[in-house]
Amino acid sequence: MPRLRLPLVAERLTLRPFRAEDVDGMYAYQRLPEVARHLYRPPRTRERCAEVIAESRPDLDWETDGDLLAIAVCRADRPGVLGELMLRLENARARQFEVGWVFHPGHRGQGYATEAARALTVAAFEQLGAHRIFARLDTGNTASVRLCERLGMRREAHLVENDLDLEGRWGSEYVYALLERELPR
């Protein structure tokens, strides 16, 4: 498969590989319990943020199931990280990718997540030849539900009590997806 050409430039945003100096920016939101609760994992430590950044390889060939890239989302007009996008190759043969997002709560309601996720989704279809892109999200994450719908994704599944949260309570997920031919032009 071809490579994803970064940075991606949206109207107000730049999507680029994470850099070592982005550790504090990532840690600012990844450390928050209200962010981690929708991810079914504990908040990240600063050290784990540094590891994630060090492990991220923007030069992926996108040939192996599980290939994963974390992408920094930044305002085009000022320094700093607003959040991140994740793109993972779920099935190389079927050209299926999972997309995900995590943003600092202080940037809610400004359309950054929608703008960034749209730019990455379009790039995955156009640059990587994706056939299907999907997102899995906690059913209680209403902001992500609305984001999927703004992207033109359709709800394909409702997985009931399919995972345990950190307190041992059952959580449910939605799966939203979009085929290349369904991409709003």
Complete DSSP assignment for 136-170 = EEETT-HHHHHHHHHTT-EEEEEEEEEEE-TTS-E
- Cα–Cα distance between 156 and 183 in angstroms, integer? 16
> Which pLDDT value is given to residue 166?
80
The domain containing residue 82 runs over which residues?
8-135
Domain tally for the chain? 1
| Residue 155 near residue 176 (C-beta atoms within 8 A) | yes
Does 90 reside within a domain? yes
Does 167 reside within a domain? no
- Residue 51: strand, helix, or coil: helix
- Cα–Cα distance between 55 and 68 in angstroms, integer? 10
Distances (CA, A) of 89 to 100, 164, 167: 12, 24, 30
> Which pLDDT value is given to residue 57?
87
Does 88 reside within a domain? yes
Does 119 reside within a domain? yes
pLDDT tens track, the chain, 185 positions: 689 999 999 999 999 999 999 999 999 999 999 999 888 889 999 999 999 999 998 899 999 999 999 999 999 999 999 999 999 999 999 999 999 999 999 999 999 999 999 999 999 999 999 999 999 999 999 999 999 999 999 999 999 999 988 888 999 999 999 999 998 77
> Which pLDDT value is given to residue 149?
97
> Which pLDDT value is given to residue 1?
60
pTM for this entry: 0.95
Domain with residue 16: its CATH number is 3.40.630.30
* Distance from the Cα of residue 136 to its chain's centroid: 10
What pairing do the DSSP bridges indicate for beta strands 96-103 and 13-17? unpaired
Does 113 reside within a domain? yes
